[in-house]
Amino acid sequence: MSNLALKIFNDRLPHKPYFADELQCGLRIAGKERAILAKYIQFNQPHAQFWLCFDVDRPGAAIDWSDRNAPAPTLTIMNKSNGHAHLLYALKTALRTAPDGKIKPLKYAAAVESALREKLSADVGYSGLICKNPNHDSWQVAVWQPELYTLDWLADSLDLKSANDKAILPDYGLGRNCTLFDKTRKWAYRAIRQGWPEYDQWLQACYERASAHNSMFTSPLDGNEVMCIAKSIAKWTNSRFTIDNFNEYIMRTHSSNLQSIRGSVGGKLSHGGGRKVSSNSENQRKPWLLQGVSRSSYYRNKKNGT
């Protein structure tokens, strides 16, 4: 394995990753120095995603990506006994997975991830939290692409359908972050107006709502990720959805609607005969008809004194 690729992997590890030597014994958490010795390790940081990782459970998984016209993985980490592998794609710029970043780039990344998963026929039940540790001798590791990927570079090899119809799986990878954020924020916009709670109470309510949505996923997000999403939504709504701002918004909307209604009524009056017109006016008498000329000719002759 390339020393550079291994260095990139290790440099990007969380300070205290989850790790396991045997999956059936559950996950533990420790400093990087201990975790890096384990067979399995958390490879992305809690709020920044440097890697797209796919779990491919079939013999030849480390090499058949080429037959599927998929972009080359940065590295593959293969189980020597059955040929199953984790395929990792290193991103040049980390994705901010907490929703205090912009949601649009996250949805774009989720679309790329989903399309790449489909092309690789990777496991849709993979949680994306830990992968086979390339530092461990149990696995066979190979480097295929030394350059770091941009999302656009990956997208060039994929079918993302149209820009407004991305095939994002709501229960997979980054799709979970997007789904959890969207569902929780839409609830929060309405719920905060029911009593305008204090921040700590509001944060707890947001966390409980986000946790409820998270529990519906086949592979739920880590509790820290859920809290991060809940905290971001709670802070944003707490600072912008105050009772004073809401009342000001209502008054501004009411005033705008009132002006619109008045303008509409005024327009109807002016076009519908709201102003009284004298029955003896020229418009009512139409003298040009008696003279057998057009209206414009009548007024032209009148102006000329003829």
The pLDDT tens digits for 100-129 are 556 778 788 888 988 898 899 998 878 788
- What number of other Cβ atoms are within 10 A of residue 55's Cβ? 20
Mean pLDDT of the 173-194 span: 83
Residue 92 backbone dihedrals phi, psi, to 5 degrees: -65, -40
Domain ranges of the chain: 3-165, 176-243
What pLDDT band is residue 163 in, cutting at 50, 70 and 90?
A: very low
Assign a CATH topology to domain 176-243: Endonuclease III; domain 1 (1.10.340)
Predicted local distance difference test score (pLDDT) of residue 199: 92
Q: What is the pLDDT of residues 66-93, one digit of tens each?
A: 999 999 999 999 999 999 999 999 999 9
- In percent, how much of the chain has pLDDT > 90? 38
Considering only CA atoms, which of 131, 1, 155 is closest in space to residue 53? 131
**294 φ/ψ angles, rounded to the nearest 5 degrees:** -75, 165
Q: What is the mean pLDDT of the chain?
A: 82
Of 246 and 23, the one with more pLDDT: 23
Exposure string (b/e) for 133-162, b if CB count within 10 Å is 16 or more?
bbbbeebbbbbbeeeebebebbbeebebee
CB 71 within 8 Å of CB 151: no
pLDDT at 162 over 50: no
Residues 6 or more apart whose CB falls under 8 angstroms from that of 91 comprise 49, 50, 51, 52, 148, 149, 150, 151
Judged by average pLDDT, the poorest of 57-61, 160-164, 292-296 is 160-164
Q: Which residue has better confidence, 214 or 298?
A: 214
Q: Among 7-16, 52-61, 207-216, 246-255, where is mean pLDDT lowest?
A: 246-255
| pLDDT over 50 (residue 164) | no
Tokens of 85: 């592998």
3-state secondary structure 136-193: CCCEEEEECCCCCECHHHHHCCCCCCCCCCCCCCCCCCHHHHHHHHHHHHHHHHHHCC
pLDDT tens digits along 260-276? 655 655 555 555 555 55
pLDDT in the model for residue 121:
92
Q: Quick check: pTM over 0.85?
A: no
Alpha helices per DSSP H over 48-139: 103-120
Cα separation, 274 vs 293, whole angstroms: 29
| DSSP per-residue letters across 194-234 | TT---HHHHHHHHHHHHHHHHTTSSSPPPHHHHHHHHHHHH
Specify which residues 81 forms β-bridges with: none
DSSP-based three-state secondary structure for 41:
strand
| Numbers of helices and strands, H then E, in the chain | 11, 8
Contacts of 113 (CB under 8 A, 6+ apart): 52, 172, 173, 174, 175
